[in-house]
Structure 1
């Protein structure tokens, strides 16, 4: 006997004035574009009165994504991160403006979380099989991984904003995958607005931002993905993205089994057991880069500590657990 799925939650921001911020008409055509990037997919929906060539839109999006990949991908040998990894001990390396900005934000959130979130865990991530090296079947408890955590530390990174330079103390590596995708959404959206678009929804594999509305005047609805083992118990959740970003972090999609232990791609040397009890965390923010990093930081802290952190930082956060949803006070106010 099949069960009837619960009615979906539809979160509408209390202030949706931005959905009507641009002009719109019901006879405008709705365009859709999509492609592959960063190991996942991107998609764009937009409408406009202007006679814009969809190829120009697609070219702008791809150029934005390529900027992020070329500077921040751990798989690109000439990226800022790979060059930093190979920089001599006690040296300074000049970063591109975009990569430097993202690193600054990542280090700021690392400071806020006292290192639960830390962009210098790159070597541990690589050893666990989620970096550019070949998978070597290490687990969280492997001495090599624990040693990599010990030798990491965001406190070891020094920045020189005047020259956009980053200090290499020796043997330190950086991974920005937990924040770069959100920045890529922001960058692509910024360039779409520079082209004159006022009504669009753009997404990269779970990180999304919306502006304006559909041709019929309704806001862009984005569905937050449910963990596959919770779909029978939890209702679908949709949010109207009206000048708003959403980013979701979870460990149920990208993981491997190693010696009977599930090894997932979001890693930290602390709070790992508690984090496993959280299926996913979504953060709503006007800045997708911040939403992306905060979602990971909250996930790593687990539901109880993550909710407390979100309350203290006034973050709109949506926690998915096996028993249901939990929202921070800011999320309840934002999505009233």
Structure 2
């Protein structure tokens, strides 16, 4: 057997970066692997990017009221997962919230960053709602009821991670750590026999005042995703607005956690549940995570520094990683 080594590849996708560390024989053609990874991620963009006018999701969003739109396999799989999380979370996750996101000043069609007036808000909110989604499984089609705008930005990156990880497996790469915009999936073992270990996302200002240790996870066929208001927010008239929208209130999440991290077998679902739990907030979200067996970590800003709370499932992963 040829000796193996860890190779590192990277590039750009979905307005962010991707990176892959993989274990491969030293004579493996890395250029072909790089091209294949990029092709998988380009497929996600072509189907699910609201920034691309020619994408499948953009075509659906422009479709005439009453028309059924047949979806490609990946798009269909992601939308079904999004709808399932929306139902289970009672709308804390909502794949139709795009117009509200834009109205509050975020996303591909962002309006001016300010609080919208009540009339405008009511008009846009009336066009949103995961309950308006009608899906025909036999035809793999979705009804455009009129004015419904899908936005899968809170689940598509995770799906991209899963897609790349599965593709690498099909190429005979049995050990890899895949990352897209901070969402990760690790599988297999490094040449020294150790699993991929990752530090749960944190920020320097949080680390400086934290009284909890760094959280390191061993990803043995596991994914991890983090959501929160650290990355995209703005202030207007002294009020802080997060890019994470609560469709139940038609407004950005207030007092959003700095970070919510979820561990799951699928990066797609880790991504979606991290958003749902962010919308719920630490108290409701932690209770929900424990009730439904989700491995979740919340980091909130407190007067004395960051405050960390962990679900029982997350604690078990930490214990397993240290075993």
Q: Same fold (TM over 0.5)?
A: yes
- Unaligned 5+ segments in structure 2 are none
What is the match of residue 268 of structure 1?
246
Paired with 1:140 and 1:247, the residues of 2 have a C-alpha distance of 31
- Secondary structure at 1:167's aligned position in 2? strand
The one of 79, 103, 106 aligned to 2:82? 106
Paired with 1:187 and 1:274, the residues of 2 have a C-alpha distance of 30
1:80 and 2:63 are equivalent in the alignment: no
Asked if 1 retains the 8 angstrom alpha-carbon contact of 2:7 and 2:24, the reply is no
What is the match of residue 16 of structure 1?
none
The structural deviation recorded for 1:324 is 2.6
- Per-residue Cα deviation, 1:43-92 (whole angstroms, up to 9, x for no partner): 11111237321111111110110010000000111212211111111111
Asked if 2 retains the 8 angstrom alpha-carbon contact of 1:121 and 1:148, the reply is no
- Give the CA RMSD over aligned residues: 2.1
1:1-336 matched pairs, under 5 angstroms: 28-49=4-25, 51-139=27-115, 143-234=119-210, 235-270=213-248, 276-322=255-301, 323-336=306-319
Q: Which has the higher contact order (CA 8 A, sep 6+)?
A: 1
Paired with 2:229 and 2:204, the residues of 1 have a C-alpha distance of 12
Asked if 2 retains the 8 angstrom alpha-carbon contact of 1:275 and 1:299, the reply is no
Paired with 1:237 and 1:305, the residues of 2 have a C-alpha distance of 23
Inter-CA distance 162–270: structure 2 relative to 1 (3 Å threshold)? closer
- Per-residue Cα deviation, 1:97-146 (whole angstroms, up to 9, x for no partner): 10111011111111111112111111011222322225423326654235
Paired with 1:72 and 1:37, the residues of 2 have a C-alpha distance of 12
Paired with 1:139 and 1:231, the residues of 2 have a C-alpha distance of 32
- Per-residue Cα deviation, 1:286-329 (whole angstroms, up to 9, x for no partner): 11101100010001100010011111211111111234321111
TM-score by length of 1: 0.87
Paired with 1:142 and 1:219, the residues of 2 have a C-alpha distance of 52
- Unaligned 5+ segments in structure 1 are 1-22
Asked if 1 retains the 8 angstrom alpha-carbon contact of 2:241 and 2:253, the reply is no
Inter-CA distance 115–253: structure 2 relative to 1 (3 Å threshold)? same
TM-score by length of 2: 0.90
What is the match of residue 7 of structure 1?
none
- Secondary structure at 2:261's aligned position in 1? strand
Asked if 2 retains the 8 angstrom alpha-carbon contact of 1:227 and 1:280, the reply is no
